[in-house]
Chains A and B, each alone.
Chain A
Amino acid sequence: MSLATATPQTERRQQSARLRRRARTARGGRSILFHLFALAVLVVILYPAVWMFMSSFKPSNDIIGSVSLVPTDGGFQNYAKALEGIGGVSFWTFVVNSLILAVGSVVGILLSCSFAAYAFARVKFRGRSVFFVCMIATMLLPFHVVIIPQYIVFNNLGMINTYWPLLLGKFLATESFFVFLMIQFIRGLPRELDEAAVIDGAGHPRIFFSIILPLMKPALVTSAIFAFIWSWNDFFGPLLYLKEPSMYTMPLALRLYVDQTSTSDYGAQMAMAILALLPVLLFFFAFQRQLVGGVATQGLKG
C-alpha cells in the first residue's frame, strides 16, 4: 500500500522535475536565440562606429568604398597628421577653443537658466504667464528662422569673429529648453520649504541660494551635461560666427580635411573625429549615473 502510494508520488515528482528541466532547456534555447539576435543587432548598430575607429588607422586611399574593418596597411600616421593641426593652427588650439565654448556654455546656462527658472516657478510678478508663453514659443521657433536676423544683430554689435555670439545668449537664459527643464523641477519641490524659510525671515535671494539651488542639483547636472555635449558638437554657430582658423572649434576643424573641390584627407578626418569624440565620451562616462538619474527624476516629477 505504502509502496503503491509512494510510486505515483515519486513518479509525479520525477515528472514535474522533467517538465521543469524541459521548460528550462526551452527557456535556455530561447534565451540563446534572444542573445544571438541582440548581438546581431548590436553588430549592425555598432558597425559604423567601429568602421570609423578602424578607418582612422588606414591610409586615406583605402577608406572610401571599403567596408572592411581590418586595416591592411595600418598605423598611427593619421593621428600624427591630425595632431599636427591644420592651416598652421595647432590641434590643441581647436581643443582649447572648444573647451572655452563648452565650459562657458555650461557656466552661462547654469547661472542664467536657474535664476530665470526660479523666477518663473516661485516669484509672482505681473505678466508672468505672458513671458512664460513667450519663452515656450521660442522653443517652437526653428533655429533656421533666426539665423539671418541674429547674424545681422551681432554684426551690427561688432561681435563677429568673437565668442560672444556663441556665449552671450547662454548667459541671458535664452536656452529655453533648460529654463523649462528647471522650472518643472522647481515646481516639483514642496512649497512648504519656501514657506518655512519665509517665516524665518528669508527673502527670495536667500530662498534661492540656501534652499532651491541645493535641491536642484539633479536638474543642474542634467543641464550641465547636455549643455556641454551640445556646445562641443555645435557646428553651425561656430561656422557662421568664427572667421579665423585660429578661433575654430573641433567640429569646424574636422571638416577642413575634406573639400570636394581639391584633394581630401579622409584618414586625418577619421582620426580627428575619434579625437573629437573622446572628451564627450569621457564626459558621458564620468557623469553617466547623474545623467540617467537626472533624466529619470525629470520624468517622475515633471
Chain B
Amino acid sequence: MTTMKMAAALGTVAVLGLAACSNGGTPHEAATEFAPDTEAEITFTWWGNDERAGWFEEALDLFNEEYPNVEVVRNFNPWDDYWTARNTEAAGQALPDVLMMDAGFLGEYADKGLFLDLGAYQGGLLDTGGYADTLLESGTVNDQLVGVPMGYNAWSMMYNKDLLDELGVPYPTDDMTLDDLEAYVLQVNQAGAAHDPKIYGASDYTGGFPGFIYSRMQEGEPVFTEDGAPAFDEGDVVDYLDSVADLRDNGDFYPVERTVALDPLGGFLGGEAALWFNFSTTVAQAMSDIGTENIGMVQAPTENGRHVLADHPSMLLSVAANSDEPDASAVLVDFLANSPEVKAIFGASLGAPPTDEGRAAVEQSTSDSVDFAYLDAIESEITESYPLLPSGYGSIEAKWGELHEQLLYGDIDTEQLAEELFSEMDMLLG
C-alpha cells in the first residue's frame, strides 16, 4: 500500500513536471457532425466495481447500436489503483481517450493541459442544454469545459432508521442547528450505551475536508481563491475543529480505534453509529454495506439551521488532449451524459442524472428515491456551484483525514493539525 501511495505521489510529481513541457500541439478543429457509420477506435476508463462494469457494458452496447463502427476499448480499476495508473499515463501523455474524472482531481489535470476543451463541441456534437449552469460551472476550469458531469449530488446527513427505532430516538430533522446536533449525538449515545455493541451518535464529523467546505459555504466564505490558494487561515481550521472539542474530549464520538478496526467501513457503515455526513449518492453504498433500506437523509446541520447548498458533480467525463479521436470521444461523452437509456441503466449510482429527461428515465431503486427526494427537497437551497478545487486538492483532502486521525488518537492538537495542514498546502499549492 505504501509502495502504491509512493508511486501515486511520484506519478503526480511527474505529471507536474512532464506535462508542463508538452502543452503544445495543434488545436483540433471540432467537428459538428459525426456520421453514424464512422469508423474509430477509442479507449474509455472508469473506476468502480464489478456491478458498474456490467452497467457500462450495457451502456456501451447501446452506444454501438447507434454507432456500430466505433470500437470502445474499455478498462476499469478500483478507486486507488485508478489514480496510480492515470497519473502514470498522464506523465506519458497517454491518457485514455475518454476517462471518468473526480471533482477533486479535475483542476489538477486540467491545469496541466491534459484535457480537451469540450466547449468547442457544445451545441454541436455535445448537448449540454439540459444542464444547470451551476453544475456545468463545476466542470469548467480556466474557462474551458473539461468535464461533463454524469450526475450530481449534494452534501447531506444520513441516519440509520433501524438503529434509531431500536433505541427509541426520534429521527433528526432538516432544520437542526449545530447545538441541536451535539445534543442529538449525546441523546443517541445515552440510549445506545446499554446496547451490544455500544451504539454512538456519530463519528467525529469534522474529520473530512468536504464538511469544512460546507461550513465555509454557510458563512458565505470562499474556500480557495481563484488562483488556487487557500482562502482561509489556520485560525479558521482550529475554530472549525474546536467547535466539537467537548464531544471529542469527553469521548462522545465513535471511538477511533473501532473505526480503524472496521476500516474501510467505519462506525456508520458498520451499523454502530446513527449519523453519517457524506454526499447524497453514497446512500446506495450505505444501504448495501449496512444491509438495510431504512436510511433517511436530511440537510447537514448548520450554525443557524438554514442552508446554502451546492450541486456537487459526482463524476465527470473528460476527453484527453492526447486523443487521436476527439470527435468520436465527444460523441461518446454526449451519449453517456444525455441518453435516457443510459440513465435508466445506471439509476443514480453515478449521481442523480442532471437533466430532467434523464431523471425521468430512471426506474428508481430505494436508494435512488431517497437521493432524488432529498435533491428535490433542497432544490431551492442549491444556490451555489461547488467551489472549484485547486490542483492537489485530492492530496489535501487525504492529508486532512490523516491528520484528523492523529488528532483523535491524541498525538497532535488542533493547532498542530492546522499548522501541518498549511505546510502541506504550501507544498502542494505552491
- List residues of A whose CB falls within 8 A of some B CB: 61, 64-65, 86-88, 144, 147-148, 151-152, 155, 160, 236, 239-240, 243-245, 252, 255-265
Which residue of B4, B6, B92, B270 contacts A65 across the interface (Cβ within 8 Å)?
A: B270
State whether A155 touches B92 (Cβ < 8 A). Answer: yes
- List residues of B whose CB falls within 8 A of some A CB: 3-4, 6-7, 10-11, 14, 18, 43, 45, 47-54, 57, 73-81, 84-85, 88-89, 91-94, 96, 261-265, 270, 284-285, 288-289, 291, 349
State whether B10 touches A87 (Cβ < 8 A). Answer: no
State whether B94 touches A160 (Cβ < 8 A). Answer: yes
State whether A239 touches B49 (Cβ < 8 A). Answer: no
Q: CA separation between A240 and B90, bound complex, in Å?
A: 12
Q: List, in ascending order, chain A residues with CB within 8 A of B79's CB.
A: 259-261
Q: List, in ascending order, chain A residues with CB within 8 A of B14's CB.
A: 148
Q: CA separation between A252 and B85, bound complex, in Å?
A: 12
State whether A236 touches B3 (Cβ < 8 A). Answer: yes
State whether B288 touches A263 (Cβ < 8 A). Answer: yes
Q: List, in ascending order, chain B residues with CB within 8 A of A243's CB.
A: 43, 45, 73, 75, 96
Q: CA separation between A293 and B265, bound complex, in Å?
A: 45
Q: Given A148-B14, A258-B78, A262-B49, 13 other A-B contacts at CB below 8 A? A: A148-B18, A148-B91, A151-B88, A151-B91, A160-B94, A236-B4, A236-B7, A244-B74, A245-B74, A258-B49, A260-B78, A263-B284, A263-B285
Which residue of A144, A148, A160 contacts B6 across the interface (Cβ within 8 Å)?
A: A144
Which residue of A148, A151, A236, A261 contacts B48 across the interface (Cβ within 8 Å)?
A: A261
Which residue of A152, A236, A263 contacts B289 across the interface (Cβ within 8 Å)?
A: A263
Residue of B nearest to A268 (CB): B50
Q: CA separation between A122 and B53, bound complex, in Å?
A: 54
Q: 4 tightest A-B contacts by CB?
A: A87-B53, A263-B288, A259-B78, A148-B14
State whether B47 touches A259 (Cβ < 8 A). Answer: yes
Sampled A-B contacts (20; CB under 8 Å): A64-B265, A86-B53, A87-B76, A88-B53, A88-B57, A144-B6, A147-B7, A148-B88, A155-B94, A236-B3, A243-B73, A252-B81, A256-B76, A260-B79, A262-B48, A262-B284, A262-B285, A262-B349, A263-B285, A263-B288
State whether B77 touches A239 (Cβ < 8 A). Answer: yes
Q: Nearest chain A CB to B293's CB is how many angstroms away?
A: 14
Q: List, in ascending order, chain B residues with CB within 8 A of A147's CB.
A: 7, 10-11, 88
State whether A255 touches B81 (Cβ < 8 A). Answer: yes
Known: A152-B92, A244-B73, A260-B79. A144 touches B7 (CB 8 A): yes
Q: List, in ascending order, chain A residues with CB within 8 A of B261's CB.
A: 65
Q: Nearest chain A CB to B287's CB is how many angstroms away?
A: 9
State whether A265 touches B75 (Cβ < 8 A). Answer: no
Residue of B nearest to A255 (CB): B78
Q: CA separation between A255 and B81, bound complex, in Å?
A: 9
Q: List, in ascending order, chain A residues with CB within 8 A of B94's CB.
A: 151, 155, 160
Q: CA separation between A252 and B50, bound complex, in Å?
A: 13
Which residue of A61, A256, A260 contacts B50 across the interface (Cβ within 8 Å)?
A: A256
Residue of A nearest to B75 (CB): A243
State whether B289 touches A245 (Cβ < 8 A). Answer: no
Known: A236-B4, A263-B284, A263-B285. A148 touches B92 (CB 8 A): yes
Q: Nearest chain B CB to A76's CB is how many angstroms away?
A: 19
State whether B51 touches A151 (Cβ < 8 A). Answer: no
Q: Nearest chain B CB to A43's CB is how many angstroms away?
A: 20
State whether B11 touches A148 (Cβ < 8 A). Answer: yes
Q: Nearest chain A CB to B370's CB is how many angstroms away?
A: 16
Residue of B nearest to A62 (CB): B291
Q: List, in ascending order, chain A residues with CB within 8 A of B49's CB.
A: 256-259, 262-265
Q: CA separation between A61 and B264, bound complex, in Å?
A: 12
Q: List, in ascending order, chain B residues with CB within 8 A of A264's CB.
A: 49, 264, 289
State whether A245 touches B6 (Cβ < 8 A). Answer: no
Q: CA separation between A255 and B261, bound complex, in Å?
A: 20
Q: List, in ascending order, chain B residues with CB within 8 A of A256's CB.
A: 49-50, 53, 76-78
Residue of B nearest to A153 (CB): B92
Q: List, in ascending order, chain A residues with CB within 8 A of B11's CB.
A: 147-148
State whether B50 touches A257 (Cβ < 8 A). Answer: yes
Q: CA separation between A88 and B78, bound complex, in Å?
A: 16
